[in-house]
Each structure stands twice: as structure tokens, then as C-alpha cells.
Amino acid sequence: GGQIGSAKVLHAEDMYKIYMVIYAVALIINAVAGIFISNNMPSWTFPDYLGMTLIVISIVAILILVFVKNLGKKISEALVLYNMIATCGFSLYQIIILGDIASYYSIYIGNILLSIIAYIFVKLKYVDKASRGAK
């Protein structure tokens, strides 16, 4: 970032990283909450294992996007697209099986929106880089 007096100016790249770190923390909280909720159930079911697996893979994908330099457009877009598809698919599945438990819908709708925002951030990151002639 640039300097104006002693204040640091946040650039698009900084905002991207800040969002992705916050998103990764949100995914980790989801995973921990999922474990606690499932441990209070009589037994883990296939959806519990599937959901936990998808969340863990999403956490890894987002952390790779945050901490690995110069992944390139194709790998970055593949990771964030996987995350969005897995999140949307599992969230919609959960909404369907929850049926009348509408109070949980907001969690899954929020997860879908966060994954879409992450996807938009990655797409815009490469639009920005292309406009500056960076790789």
C-alpha cells in the first residue's frame, strides 16, 4: 500500500486478502459448529460427513488463495469456482432437508452469498491485473 502521511492506504489487493482471511475464518467457524452440532446428534450421517469434507476442502482452497503467491488465473478461478459450487450445492441440499426449520436458512443463504463474493473477488482480481498488464 501507499503512504499518505502516516496512514496506510488499502489497495484492492489488500481488500481481497482481508476478505479472503475473514471468509476462511467464517468457514472454520462453520466447520467447528458443524462438528459440535453433529456430535449432539445420535449418529453422524452421510450428509454430515459430506458437508464436513466439502467445508474442509473449501477452507484449504480459500487458504491457498490467500497465502500462495502467483497461483495464476486458471488455478485461482478453479479453486474459487469449486468452493462456490460445493457451498451452493451443499447449502441448497441442507435447506431442502431442513424443511420447516427456516431459522437455519439464513446460515446457508449467508454461506452461498459469501462464496459468490469470493468468486467475484477472484474474477475482479484478474480483471484488475489484466488492466495493469500484470500477471
Longest CA span, the chain: 59
- Residues 51-88 have pLDDT tens digits of 788 888 889 999 999 899 889 999 999 999 999 998 88
| Whether residue 101 has pLDDT greater than 70 | yes
By the 10 Å C-beta count (0-12 exposed, 13-18 middle, 19+ buried), 71 is classed as: middle
Query: Most confidently modeled of 6-10, 28-32, 95-99, 112-116?
Result: 112-116
- Residues 8-66 have pLDDT tens digits of 677 777 888 899 999 999 888 888 887 777 667 677 777 778 878 888 888 999 999 98
Q: Please give, one letter per residue, the 3-state secondary structure of the chain.
A: CCEECCEECCCHHHHHHHHHHHHHHHHHHHHHHHHHHHHCCCCCCHHHHHHHHHHHHHHHHHHHHHHCCCCCHHHHHHHHHHHHHHHHHHHHHHHHHHCCCHHHHHHHHHHHHHHHHHHHHHHHHHHHHHHHCCC
- What pLDDT shows up at residue 76? 94
Backbone angles phi, psi at 34, to 5 degrees: -60, -40
At 58, which amino acid appears?
Answer: S
- What pLDDT shows up at residue 122? 92
pTM of model > 0.75: yes
What Rg, from alpha-carbon coordinates, does the chain have?
Answer: 17
How far is the C-alpha of 135 from the C-alpha of 114, rounded, in Å?
26
